[in-house]
Amino acid sequence: MSRANASRIPVKLHRRVSLIQAADAVLAEELLARKGLARLVVGRLSETVLLVRPGEEDAVLEELRRMGQTPRVER
């Protein structure tokens, strides 16, 4: 491995990921408590970030709106 290459920071790229980012952990918990939404969430990346099952973006948005949430949608 060349010296230049060795000095670089090893990373993994995750592209086109769907996730929900809540302002606080309580809101994230509230979302997970909703059964319809919880089944669309694969896991939790942190206290406030939920990983969404790929291909379920429309269903998640619909469920969030049904909950009365008004998420900022970043496409």
Partner 1 sequence: MSAPDRTRGHRTTTMTDTTPTDAPQSPARSSPSGGDYLAALKQYEPSRRIRIFEAIAPDEAAPRPGEVASSIAARLGDAPVISAACERLGHRPRVALSLFSLSRSDRLTASELAPALRALGAEPASALVPLLELGLLVAHDHAGRPLPDLGSVAAEASASLALILHPSLREATPNTLPVAAAPPPSGSAGLVREADGLEPILRLAALWQRVRAAPIRQTQQGTLFKRDRERLAEDPALVGPIADALEPLPDMAGLWLELARVIGLIEAEPGSDRIVATDAEFWSEHAVHLPHMLGLAWLGLRAWDEQAGRPDDESSGELPSPLLRPVALLWLAARGETEWTALDDLAANLERLSPGWVHRPDPGPDPSDPPRRSTRGRAKPPRSGAATSRLAATLLGPAYQLGLVRVAEESPGRRRLVQLTPLGRYVLGVGRPPAPRETFETFLVVQPNFEVLAYRQGLQPWLVGLLSRFLDWEQLGAAAELRLSAESVYRGLEGGLTPEQMAARLERHSGRPLPPAVADALTTWSGRRERLAFHTSATLIEFLRPEDLEAALADWPDGDGKPVPSRVSGRILLVPEGAAIPYHRFRVAGSRDYRQPSEPCVEVEPDGVTLGLDLGRTDLLIDAEIGRLADPVAARSRSIRAGESPRRWYRVSRGSLTRALGEGMTPQQLERWFEGRTGAPPPPAVRLLLHAMESPTGPAFRIDRPVVLHAPSPELLDGLFQHPDGRGLLGERLGPRSVVVPAGSVDALRRVLLAIGLTLGSEDDDAT
Residues that bind partner 1 (CB under 8 A): 5, 8-24, 27, 39, 42-43, 45-46, 49, 51, 54-55, 57, 60-61, 64, 68-75
71 secondary structure, DSSP code: P
Shortest Cβ distance from residue 5 to partner 1 (Å)? 6
Query: Hey, how many other C-beta atoms are within 10 angstroms of the C-beta on 28?
Result: 20
Cα distances from 10 to residues 6, 7, 13, 16, 69, in angstroms, run 9, 9, 10, 20, 37
Q: Whose Cβ is closer to partner 1: residue 33's or residue 43's?
A: 43
Shortest Cβ distance from residue 33 to partner 1 (Å)? 15
